[in-house]
Amino acid sequence: MAEFNVNLRGVGPVSVIDVKGYLDAHTAPELENVFNKLLDDKQFKVVVNFNELKYISSAGLGVFMAYVETMRENSGDIKFSNMKENVYNIFDLLGFPILYEFFKEEKEAVNKFIS
Partner 1 sequence: MNNYNKIFEKELLIKSVTDSLAEVREFTKSAANECGFPEETSGKIMLAVDEACTNIIKHAYKFSPEGNILITIKFKESKLVISITDEGMHFDPEKVPEPNLREYYKQKRVGGLGMYLIKKLMDEVNYSTLSGSKNQVVLVKYLSN
Residues engaged in binding partner 1 (CB under 8 A): 1-3, 22, 24-26, 55, 57-59, 61-63, 65-66, 68-69, 86, 90, 93-96, 98-99
> What is the Cα–Cα distance from 67 to 50, expressed in whole angstroms?
17
Residue 10 CB, nearest distance to partner 1 (Å)? 26
Shortest CB 72 distance to partner 1, Å? 10
Q: Would you say 54 or 108 has its CB closer to partner 1?
A: 54
Which residue, 9 or 26, is less far from partner 1 as judged by CB? Answer: 26
User: What is the rounded distance in angstroms from the CA atom of residue 84 to the CA atom of residue 100?
Assistant: 16
| Closest CA relative to residue 21, chosen from 53, 63, 48, 57 | 53
Residue 2 or 39 having the CB closest to partner 1: 2
Helix (H, G, I), strand (E, B) or coil at 6: strand
- Closest approach, Cβ 107 to partner 1, in A, equals 27
29 Cβ contact partners less than 8 Å away, ≥ 6 residues apart = none
DSSP states of 81-100 as a string? ES--HHHHHHHHHTTGGGTS
- The residue (of 12 and 62) whose beta carbon lies closer to partner 1 is 62
